Chain A
């Protein structure tokens, strides 16, 4: 039971190991705040849609699995979108386009199809929570590296002495790819041993 929950952290980490959900990972990891916001939003959608899908899986004929799942996911994404706009407008603005794009995040549809469509409600919920937190963890790691290198800050607070000249490229698009590539390499190296 615990394994369903913790496998998403390292062993089956959706980002580093399975290379899913790359677009939001790279796009919103320029600051730790954005990364955590995005991670939690996606976790909420993952947990809710996993629960919902494992509840309805027996009523939905095989042929229309995917469209039905997409509708369920899109509804939860829209709810997150509206609630965030109402209560955390600043974060909603800086995540912008990538909130509605949670719909096409392959992690969510992937888990729905591979796990929630086959397992019971409780297990699906744990799976969603674990995967979601694994996603959040991966995002935060990348964002921490990028924010510290690129702005000398962590969560908006200055952590490096102001005499440090920020390595701007880390915060721009190329930095996202390069940090991601190096981290993936490091994960692979660890696995080999």
Chain B
């Protein structure tokens, strides 16, 4: 029971209180870039959840069983980014073989994920915060869910914005930023939550 409670706390913290996009500023490029259409936002979100969970798992193992025993902590950044890049490649190949339908939906987003800083960010955060193996995986999973949530919300708003009358200069990117600001303001309300 206590374990379930802990999972719940981690979920709320990673999804709302410390939302990767709005509070930690991670993964902004896809957040602004892939939020024009709802369909693509959902696809990107799912791909990110998947890769963030996998990346958390593997980078934690590499840090604990390879880099620390060999005293190679200074190679952390290189090791992590290479792990993520190969992971993304691998995931791409596996999905293509096993689930062609899923590949069709996610395929175009997968290569973009390597340079999504939320992925490398969660891997480094897990190490900095001394998370255990299970905590690291959950942090990756819920971090991804939080990312997807705000991405989908944003896409919903932007689809409506298309039809709104705006000053020409504010169209597109600038108004997206302002909307993101308002969302961040709303999410700030969660930050008083001390779990």
Contacts and interface: CB of A to CB of B under 8 A. Distances in A.
Partners in one complex: yes
Given A109-B115, A177-B177, A185-B170, A101 B78 contact: no
B25 interface: yes
A77 B120 CA distance: 14
A19 B32 contact: yes
Contact of A172 (B32, B178, B188): B188
A2 B28 CA distance: 32
Interface string B104-121: 000000000011110111
Q: For chain B, what secondary structure do more than half of its interface residues adopt (helix, strand, loop), or is it mixed?
A: helix
Contacts, number: 123
A185 B32 contact: no
Contacts of A184: 173-174, 177
A105 B184 CA distance: 22
Interface in B56-104: 74-78, 81-82, 85
Contact of B178 (A70, A169, A177): A177
Interface in A64-95: 66-67, 70-71, 74-75, 77-78, 81-82
Nearest to B120: A104
Given A100-B120, A178-B181, A181-B181, 17 more contacts: A20-B29, A22-B25, A22-B29, A23-B26, A23-B27, A26-B25, A70-B82, A101-B121, A106-B29, A109-B115, A172-B188, A173-B23, A176-B184, A181-B170, A181-B177, A184-B173, A188-B174
Interface of A: 19-20, 22-24, 26-27, 66-67, 70-71, 74-75, 77-78, 81-82, 96-97, 100-101, 103-106, 109, 169, 172-178, 180-182, 184-186, 188-189, 192
